[in-house]
Amino acid sequence: MVNNKSKTYLLPLLSELVGFEKRFHKNIVNTYIEFSCGNYDNCIGILQDFSFKNPDYTSYEHRFIKNSLFRELKDIEDNQVLYIFDFPEEYLHEYNCFKKGQYSRFGIDAKELILEYFAHVYKDNMNAIPFLMKTKQVLFKDQKLKRQMEKKLVVKIEDSAELAGVPNLEAEMFDTLKYKTNENKEKQIDNNIFDSKE
């Protein structure tokens, strides 16, 4: 599965208010901003691998569900869960810019948050340096990246052009035809487990 661009450019903006933990980042399969399973305007879906056998993850999920931005969850076969959140109001400008592929128009605070998020997630992972550099270059419309692209593509790129393509909204759609949801199976969460820890 190819990571959607929303995983790079939008997920970190939600993280500030939801509080994703670095150790569970590997559980995130993909993210979505369009849904065939309902009307979720200005939302983001996070598809995650889930294990009931891990009490730490169950507690982590409970924090998601209690978050004020949480909208709904859908159980997916193969031990996956789609968590749907309202996108934070303070970053709706970035959400709308993202849909148009206008990454350089993100606010400076949003750009810094994206870079800080991945620097934290990939700390000490030398293999992530090219990804971090490219993300920074796209957000800040770096001239070095522009010249590299012009040379590779043998074209002149206008100064007004972005340095990454518009997101593929078909790929950014969570399609229930591709995933089998367990509509009849309610996730059992024993709230007593968590009450004692709060």
pLDDT digits (tens, 9 = 90+) for 146-156: 999 999 999 99
How far apart (Å, rounded) are the C-alpha atoms in residues 38 and 73?
Answer: 12
Percent of the chain at pLDDT exceeding 90 = 66
Residues 163-179: tens digit of each pLDDT: 999 999 999 999 876 76
- Kindly give the parts of the chain with pLDDT less than 70: 1, 52, 177, 179-198
Beta carbons within 8 Å of 39's beta carbon, 6+ residues apart = none
Where do the structural domains in the chain lie, given as residue ranges?
5-187
